[in-house]
């Protein structure tokens, strides 16, 4: 069964509750006998968002999923909608929930709807830092270095994120 990682972000409403609710829904997608891992929760400043956008809370979960990336994308989009995500607003506008597929096993695809692994993982401390919490030695498909090494390459240019004391505990 392939492991799939999903980045969670929220910068609207009760951000921590939004992430916890998403985590509960994501857990239902996991194989009953498989592992379900989650990172610490980090606060990050918005990037490429409209001015005055609130800060994000970010985390990453990894689960064993019995399906492919497009199926998981459909399911994560349904969770976003269920938990109040409005995709009709401006691009990168404040949102209750953002779920981004990072990888689904070794699957590699590049379609209009989905690119796996996520093409901007290595550019985002707010994704790499929580991913390192759960899989520091992982080498993503098509890469040569671990996610921990990718994070180390970004940290001279960006400050490390601080974890919240409260987390995703289910």
In a domain? residue 163? no
- CATH number of the domain bearing residue 137: 3.30.70.560
Which helix (DSSP H) or strand (DSSP E) does residue 9 occupy? strand 3-10
Q: Distance between CA atoms of 74 and 68, rounded to whole angstroms?
A: 10
Cβ–Cβ contacts within 10 Å for residue 123, how many? 13
Q: Which residues are catalytic?
A: 85, 95, 98, 100
In a domain? residue 164: no
Would you say the pTM of this structure is higher than 0.85? yes
Say if 36 falls within a structural domain. Answer: yes
d(CA 20, CA 15): 9
What CA–CA distance (Å, rounded) separates 41 from 67? 27
pLDDT digits (tens, 9 = 90+) for 107-134: 999 999 999 999 889 989 999 999 999 9
Q: How many domains does the chain have?
A: 1
- At 25-47, the pLDDT tens digits run 999 999 888 889 999 999 998 88
């Amino acid at each position: 069964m392939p492991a799939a990682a999903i980045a969670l972000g929220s910068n609207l409403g009760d951000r921590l509750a939004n992430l916890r609710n998403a985590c509960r829904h994501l857990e239902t997608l996991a194989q009953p006998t498989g592992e379900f891992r989650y990172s610490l929760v980090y606060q990050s400043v918005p990037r490429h968002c409209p001015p005055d956008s609130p800060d994000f809370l970010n985390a990453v979960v990894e689960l064993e999923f019995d399906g492919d990336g497009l199926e998981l994308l459909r399911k994560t989009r349904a969770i976003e909608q269920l938990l109040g995500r409005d995709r009709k607003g401006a691009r990168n506008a404040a949102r209750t929930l953002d779920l981004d597929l990072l990888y689904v096993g070794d699957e590699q695809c590049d379609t209009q709807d989905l690119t796996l692994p996520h093409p901007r993982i290595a550019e985002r401390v707010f994704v790499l830092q929580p991913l390192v919490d759960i899989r520091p030695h992982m080498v993503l498909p098509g890469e040569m270095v671990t996610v921990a090494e990718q994070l180390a390459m970004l940290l001279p240019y960006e400050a490390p994120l601080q974890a919240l004391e409260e987390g995703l505990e289910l």
